[in-house]
């Protein structure tokens, strides 16, 4: 019964498409950050405001990462 199978398949696919479309609408265009700092030995909670901006580290770790990036970035601060 290939026809019946196709119908089921089409129905399932339609449901998946529908679910995906709804899921996409519920997800903000910009990816959210993490609920907790990505630094393994930190795990500090990240505030909602920063998380919505896509933050993946707590303020302390982000500052440290910025400092390190500044130190290793060629041509910076010279």
Q: In angstroms, rounded to a whole number, what is the distance separating the alpha carbons of residues 31 and 34?
A: 10
Closest distance to Zn ion from the beta carbon of 48 (Å): 16
Nearer to Zn ion, 11 or 44 (CB): 44
The residues of the shown chain that bind Zn ion, judged by CB under 5 A, are 37, 39, 42, 44, 58, 61
Closest distance to Zn ion from the beta carbon of 18 (Å): 39
Nearer to Zn ion, 14 or 42 (CB): 42
Q: In angstroms, rounded to a whole number, what is the distance separating the alpha carbons of residues 63 and 10?
A: 51
Give 47-61 as a 3 state SS string: CHHHHHCCCCCCHHH
């Amino acid at each position: 019964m290939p026809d019946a199978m196709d119908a089921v398949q089409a129905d399932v696919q339609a449901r998946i498409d529908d679910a995906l479309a709804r899921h996409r609408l519920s997800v903000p265009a910009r990816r959210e950050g993490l609920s907790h700092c990505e630094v393994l030995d930190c795990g500090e909670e990240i505030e909602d405001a920063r998380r919505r901006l896509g933050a993946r580290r707590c303020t302390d770790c982000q500052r440290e990462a910025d400092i390190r990036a500044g130190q290793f970035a060629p041509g910076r601060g010279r």
